[in-house]
Amino acid sequence: MDRNKKLTVVVAVLIIITFIGMYVHYLQASKEINGKFSQQKSVQNMQKIQNTNVARKNVLPPPDVLDFNKLNNNQNERQQVTTTRNIIRRIRPCVVTVVSYPNEILAPNGNSYVKTLDPYQNGAKYISSGIIVDSSGIVLTTKDAVPTNKIEIKLFRRKPNVFSAKILKIDNDLDLALLQIDGLSNTFSCPLGDSSTAQVGDIVYALGSPFGFEETVTSGIISSNRKKVSIDGNVFKSLIQIDAIINKGNNGGALVNIDGEVIGVNAAIYSDNATNSTFSGIGFAIPINNTKRFIQGKGFTNGI
């Protein structure tokens, strides 16, 4: 009996030891599995982060670089807009509307493809443009703007803004006229530049009264410097070719460079229809240097 009890105890102890060993083995195996799973998950997370970073790099530059570029672009745009506004503010007050009242309806200028700009007819009025070239009220315009001695000058944003004017002289070869505003002195005059420095590709602005829309501004570039152009039988030794839009009523208006200086007098256009005088992308201005001799001799103070 004692022997059987001892044997039973030994068997029980062995069974307990076996279960303990199995449990310890289970715990170790669980730790290894959990460790491998955690390591695998960490690697997957790192790969996801790396893939996300690569995607971001492919889509957008770093935020600080992006913001810096935007800031530079905005500053350049603001500077360009500000410069343009300053130029227009500087020049608009000295570009005028010239209104004449001929006794009869005038025939359009010529029938060639390159033609001088006609005044815009509005009833009995013929509307053109002009440039104040001296503070004493001297206005430079085209000859076609003043077919009669009954002339009015309309100033920009001034009260009173309508004055009568008289013709001082006319140059048929240059197609220019010089006027004197009656009863006006010490007014703002346009700064005259040096048209010999004008280069192809330069930005320019055309100011005038196309179709009677006073003080209109258009912009473009100098397309070419033409040494010789024949217009309605009259040969011009040099003209500035532009793509800034000009139409009837722009004749006599200012062509202005980016320094705010007048470098030409808008005078002619090309049309693919000899009977049509609507702008088609090619316009011409008389270089301001060609006009300086014409307007000399009156004691002007505009550096002429």
- 38-76 pLDDT tens trace: 555 555 655 655 555 544 444 444 444 445 455 455 555
Among 206, 204, 211, 214, which residue's Cα sits nearest to residue 162?
214
In this prediction, residue 303 carries a pLDDT of 38
pTM to 2 decimals? 0.71
- Round to whole Å and give the CA distance between 177 and 170: 4
Whose CA is closest to 208, among 241, 177, 254, 164? Answer: 254
Match domain 90-292 to its CATH number in 1.25.40.10, 3.40.50.720, 1.20.1640.10, 2.40.10.120. Answer: 2.40.10.120
pLDDT less than 50: residues of the chain: 54-66, 68, 71, 299-304
For the chain, helix, strand, coil in percent to 5 are 35, 30, 35
Which one-letter DSSP state was computed for residue 104? S
